Structure 1
Amino acid sequence: MIGVYEFLPNSEFLTLVGGLFCKDDALTQKLCGNILFLMCGFNQDQLNTTLLPVIMGHLPAGSSTNQLLHYAQGINSAKYRQFSYGMIKNLANYGSLTPPDYDLSKITAPVFLHWSDNDWMADSKDVRELQSKLPNVKGSIRVPLAEFNHLDYMWAIDAKPLLYDTVLENMKKY
């Protein structure tokens, strides 16, 4: 579950289990979908269950333990700042006891923020907060489906008309 520097690394065993328990004729397929929903928000109508073996075969994708710690630091501090190594190492690395904030004013590329009401991993309040700090937000676009969840950005049956078409249209403009 936790490698030396990796959290939830993917393994052949998990890929095999995902394939067996999540395929179309498996009695446990519904359980696979519900595991995803518990993490990211419920939206059964947009889940292509035929893809569950593929999805579960790639989950967990693994993450750096420091990346997870950095997310937690951001939540606790409510700031967009660099990684905190602790006061002594911060002093050595940054010249201060606390890590410096990211200078979001330096992000000058046009930005479109896409968000949804049912995304349990990115609250709309946080999107508004980020929007207020970025200098060149061209749009804050709510996905027009109340049930759209975090995984739907990648796997939703209707991701193209609900999201991708708008993303591509805005990319062409800028």
Structure 2
Amino acid sequence: DYFNTDYNENCWYNPDVFSTPENISHNHGFEFQTHFVMTDDGYFLTIFRVQDKFSSFKKQPILLHHGIISSAVGFMTSGDRSLAFYLARNGYDMWLANHRGNTYSLGHSHLKTSDPKYWNFSFHEIGLYDLPATMEYITKKTGNFRKIIYVGHSMGCTVCFIYTSLKKDHAEKYLKGFIALSPATAMKYFRSDFRPLLPILNKLIEDVMVTLSYHPARTSLKCIAHFLQLMMVGKFQHYDYGWKENLNKYNSVVPPEYPLSDITIPVHMFYGLNDNLVSYQDVLWVFNELTTPEKSIDVVPKNRKIKFNHVNFLLSKHIEFYLYKPLMKIIKALEIRNTSK
């Protein structure tokens, strides 16, 4: 009887474990669709659509974007408390992104994953190519009648800051607003005991990637290197190719910083006090750099005796009360914004 859930309270069974995204959605009573998007530089992206069975598709579309070495499934792994399911249950048309190179988006028009050229991208290219293609596709599929609300976590915020700062006209056309959960940008104040080891880690990055390659979702070496660069220099800047190549690409020996002051859409940020990767100081720095008329910064949860870490934005026993409640207030406010352009 040890392995029988009827007789042993320590024995459990979760049908979502090792299941497919489609089956996970069905397990919790939601409709699931798989869509495919091609970027201008040839990458094939897989995006998921999750809808409540009893809800109309004529609802506000929301795009969720995951962090590094993660995937869209990260928004579906907390059962009924999962962000994708919570918002779908509240009537929203949920779209879940998978950036280039992760488990679900490995296709390319002419490059194989065994070709090093395939992996020659960082989060810069994800923001520059993946996001615009995804926004355009979703808007086309939803009938061109609604702008999108974007919700990102960690690197899912990084890529949106790049997109909204470098392609602000495109962002104004397709986005109602951007909600950033634990946004990774300059990372100047990230709290970690291994900061002195960063120069060494940067040299050992190829060995580190062997370990990372066994994670369920993939990413590129260049993404990791770019984040290490931001941690070392404490600036939110383009990829550093070395002074010679920087001169060719940027007409400067140092990489330019992303122009956060050019962002014009509403930006609302949430941070946790126990987040060792994205500190309050870094989020406050972003807030002060932004000049958009509508912006906010808020700690989660409000009860400062309880402190969210980086993962709690996806996995937390009381996430509905601590995060989803203030999140829904912002979503509802953005939802009623005038969509005409």
TM-score normalised per structure 2? 0.33
- Structure 1 residues 74 and 89: CA distance shift in structure 2, 3 A: same
Matched with 1:152 is 312
Q: Does the alignment pair 1:141 with 2:298?
A: yes
Matched with 2:326 is 166
Structure 1 residue 25 displacement after superposition: 4.7
Please give the secondary structure, in 2, of the residue aligned with 1:141. strand
Structure 1 residue 138 displacement after superposition: 2.4
Matched with 2:249 is 93
Matched with 2:227 is 71
Aligned amino acid, residue 93 of structure 1: K
Once the two structures are superposed, the pairs formed by residues 10-159 of structure 1 within 5 Å of their partners are: 25=11, 59=215, 61-136=217-292, 138-144=295-301, 145=303, 146-159=306-319
Distance 1:64 1:159 in 2: 30
Q: Deviations over 1:30-83 (max 9, x none)?
A: xxxxxxxxxxxxxxxxxx8xxxxxxxxx95533321111111211222211111
Aligned amino acid, residue 315 of structure 2: W
RMSD: 2.2
Distance 1:164 1:61 in 2: 25
Please give the secondary structure, in 2, of the residue aligned with 1:63. coil
Please give the secondary structure, in 1, of the residue aligned with 2:268. strand
> Are the counterparts in 1 of residues 287 and 295 from structure 2 also a CA contact under 8 Å?
no
Q: Deviations over 1:80-127 (max 9, x none)?
A: 111111111111111211111111111111111101111111111111
- Structure 1 residues 25 and 121: CA distance shift in structure 2, 3 A: farther
> Are the counterparts in 1 of residues 300 and 307 from structure 2 also a CA contact under 8 Å?
no
Q: Deviations over 1:6-34 (max 9, x none)?
A: xxxxxxxxxxxxxxxxxx659xxxxxxxx
After the TM superposition, which parts of structure 1 deviate over 6 Å for at least 4 consecutive aligned residues? Answer: none
TM-score normalised per structure 1? 0.62
Indicate the structure with greater strand content: 2
| Percentage of pairs with the same residue | 29
Does 1 or 2 have the higher relative contact order (CA < 8 Å, sep 6+)? Answer: 1
Flag structure 1 segments of 5+ consecutive residues without an equivalent: 1-23, 27-47, 49-57
Distance 1:163 1:82 in 2: 31
Structure 1 residue 165 displacement after superposition: 2.3
Q: Deviations over 1:129-164 (max 9, x none)?
A: 111111135221101253321111011121121112
Aligned amino acid, residue 79 of structure 1: K
Aligned residues: 121
Aligned amino acid, residue 169 of structure 1: K
Matched with 2:45 is none
Indicate the structure with greater helix content: 1
Aligned amino acid, residue 253 of structure 2: L
Matched with 1:52 is none
Matched with 1:18 is none
Matched with 1:6 is none
Distance 1:152 1:25 in 2: 25
Flag structure 2 segments of 5+ consecutive residues without an equivalent: 1-9, 13-77, 79-213, 335-341
Please give the secondary structure, in 1, of the residue aligned with 2:296. strand
